[in-house]
Amino acid sequence: MVAFDGAGWDGRGKTALITGGSNGIGAAVARRLAGQGAKVVLADIDTERGGALAEELGGRFVRCDVREPGDSTAAVAAAVDAFGGLDVAFLNAGISSGCGLDGDFDPEVYRRAMAINLDGVVYGVHAALPALRARGGGDIIATASMAGLTATPFDPIYGANKAAVVALVRALGPTHAAEGIRVNALCPSFADTDILGGMKGTLEEQGFPILEVDRVVEAVTAILDGDDAGEAWFVVPGREPGPFGFRGVPGPR
C-alpha cells in the first residue's frame, strides 16, 4: 500500500488540470499541488472564484462545463498551451442529485447529475489521454465517493453515477498502465464542502463524522506518489485511506 503522506510527490515541472477547481476539494488540491511546485489549470463554471484562485497560485483558469465534451478538450488544450504539457488530470467536478425515483422524480435533474458526475469524467479522460501520452505518461484521478462503494438510499442517483465512475476507473486502470498512464478513483465520505448543503446539520445531529478536506487532499497526493492503477481509494474519518479491497467475482463452475 502507498504511504499516506504524499510527501514524495514532486510537482516541479509538472502541470495539473483540475475540474471543479474553483471551490471545495478541487481548490484545496490546487493549493496543495501548486505548493509542491506544479503549475495548475483550474476548469470550472465559477469564473469569479476560479479566476481569483488561479491568479493567486500563478496558474490559469478556463471556463469549463464538463457536460460539454468540447469544454474538456479546450481545458486540456489550455493546459498544454500555457505550460507545455499535461501530467495530472484531476477530474473532480461533481454535484449531489437530490433526485428520488418516486413521485419527486425529475428527468432534467437526473440527467444533469449524471452528465456532471459521470459524463464529465468520461469526457475528461477522453480529452486528457492524448496529452498524457505525449508526455510519456501521467495520472488521471477521478473523484467518485464512498457512495460508489456502498448503498446510498438518501441519494440513489448520486450513488449510481459514483459507482459508475468506480467501475470505469477499474476498467481503465489496467488498460493504460502499460503506457505509463495511471487511472485511479478517489472515494471520500462526507467531506466538509458546499456539496453537503443542508445535509451537514443533519449529519452532525446524528453524530456522523464530517471528513476534513485536508485528509482528502492528502489522499490525492498519496495516489500521485504511488504506483497503483485501477484502484478506488476510500477516505473516511478515523481510518488511514487506501485502495478498497474488492472481492473476486465468482467464475463459472
Active site (catalytic) residues: 158
- Alpha-carbon 103 to chain mean position: 31
| Sheet with 232-235: strands ordered across | 60-63, 39-44, 15-19, 88-91, 138-143, 181-188, 232-235, 242-243
Q: Is the distance from CB of 69 to CB of 118 less than 8 angstroms? A: no
Q: Please give the angle made by the CA atoms of 34, 35 and 39, to the nearest 5 degrees.
A: 20
Grouping H, G, I as helix, E, B as strand and the rest as coil, residue 169 is helix
| CA 157/CA 167 separation, integer angstroms | 15
Which backbone phi and psi does 83 adopt, to 5 degrees?
Answer: -130, 10
